[in-house]
Amino acid sequence: MNVIEAGSLGKRFGDTWALRECSLAIPAGHVAALVGPNGAGKSTLLNLIVGLSAPTSGTITVLGGHPAGSPGALDGVAFVAQDTPLYRNLSVGDMLHLTSNLNRSFDRAFAARRLDDLGIPLRRKAGKLSGGQQAQLALTLALGRRPSLLVLDEPVAMLDPVARHDFMAAVLAATTDEDVSVLLSSHALSELERVADYLILLSRGRVQVAGEVDDLLAAHCVLSGPAASTGDLAGWRVVHARGAGALVHLLVQRPGERPVPPGWEAHPVGLEELALGYLRETDPVAGAADAPDLVASLKAVP
């Protein structure tokens, strides 16, 4: 089952397309990382998935075919918006009570037990909690709905490193203990590398990369070799290039089983390096200012 499926999805605000021609099919059971620069369309896509916005074009369904925002979708999708919005003057216990009344189903006993395990007192006002505790409270309220799909928009942006690590660990535990699929938007690439097994990369309102992390990493590598021998790389798609004099380092997409040309060395690539390479692809000179002519010629390689 695909927990999210989009076909030619687009969203326009006035004359500006925030998202266009977005096609995705994310299988269940993954922690999917949604990555992209500011203004890439990430929050727009998340709002479409959870039904807070209607598409201008195309289609978007969740949980095996339910239209986004429909009753069947809302019962199975939980959303933690950016900055983990909470009613700061309500106590934690009041937040549980309010969330229970606003949802058709809410496992209050599970939520209270989880908060107790985290040492978050029910009588304390939400606004008096630390940033990490507020994030954990928002996550608990979402998990208490027992969703099949958990959507998180930049939930760790304001957290310190320890709170960020603990939050990500809780998200990872939810996928195994509660059988929840997760879509997580974040700029914290190092944290995503630890938990994500699926990657969606947005840039300029379009999907640039989508797939399981292991498959994407296997399909890419970094080639290091002499700038004078770049002609040997015909057929290798160069995503990003950086150079230091006569030596260049190229993030490339492997052309099937083709062997590495003589004089070049191939190195494995991690999720963070892969994502950064595609993000920089929109500016071919970024990271390779010493060799702009080389980069331009590499971009023209078929």
Give the DSSP H or E segment for 266: strand 265-267
Domain identity same for 211 and 225: no
Q: Are residues 294 and 235 in the same domain?
A: yes
Q: Evaluate if residue 262 carries a pLDDT over 50.
A: yes
Within this chain, do residues 173 and 205 fall inside the same structural domain, yes or no? yes
Owner of token pair 């606003």: 102
* Residues 268, 163 share a domain: no
Query: What is the identity of the amino acid at 126?
Result: A
| Residue that wins the pLDDT comparison between 245 and 194 | 194
Residue 208 CB partners (closer than 8 Å, separation 6+) = 201, 202, 278, 281
Domains in the chain, number: 2
Beta strands in 108-258 (DSSP E): 149-153, 181-185, 198-203, 206-212, 220-226, 237-244, 247-253
pLDDT the model gives residue 245: 67
Name 239's bridge partners: none
Q: What is the pLDDT of residue 281?
A: 65
**pTM summary value:** 0.84
Q: Higher confidence at residue 293 or residue 127?
A: 127
Q: How far apart are the C-alpha atoms of 98 and 137, rounded to whole Å?
A: 13
* Max CA distance (Å), the chain: 68
Same domain, 252 and 158: no
CATH code, 184: 3.40.50.300
Q: Between the ranges 42-51, 230-239, 284-293, where is the mean pLDDT highest? A: 42-51
| pLDDT at position 244 | 64
Give 169-210 pLDDT, tens digit per residue: 888 888 888 889 999 998 878 778 888 999 999 888 888 889
Q: Of 180, 215, 250, which residue constitutes the final position of a domain?
A: 215
User: Which of 174, 196, 215 marks a domain boundary?
Assistant: 215
- Domain range for 155 is 2-215
DSSP letter assigned to residue 233: G
- Does residue 99 sit in the same domain as residue 10? yes
Q: Are 189 and 210 in the same domain? A: yes
Same domain, 111 and 256: no
Q: Are residues 262 and 114 in the same domain?
A: no
Calpha distance 147→194 (Å, rounded): 23
Q: What is the rounded average pLDDT of the residues 74-102?
A: 90
Q: Which of 215, 230, 262 is the last residue of a domain?
A: 215
How many whole angstroms separate alpha carbon 161 and alpha carbon 127? 21
Measured at the CA of 299, the angle between CA 298 and CA 302, to 5 degrees, comes to 90
Instruction: Give pLDDT tens digits for 117-174.
Output: 999 999 999 999 998 899 999 999 999 999 999 999 988 777 888 888 888 888 888 8
Q: What is the mean pLDDT of residues 281-290?
A: 39
- 8: confidence class by pLDDT, cuts 50, 70, 90: very high
Task: Let me know whether 206 and 261 are in one domain.
Answer: no
Pick from 241, 269, 238: which is nearest to 255 by CA? 238
154 and 189 housed in the same domain: yes
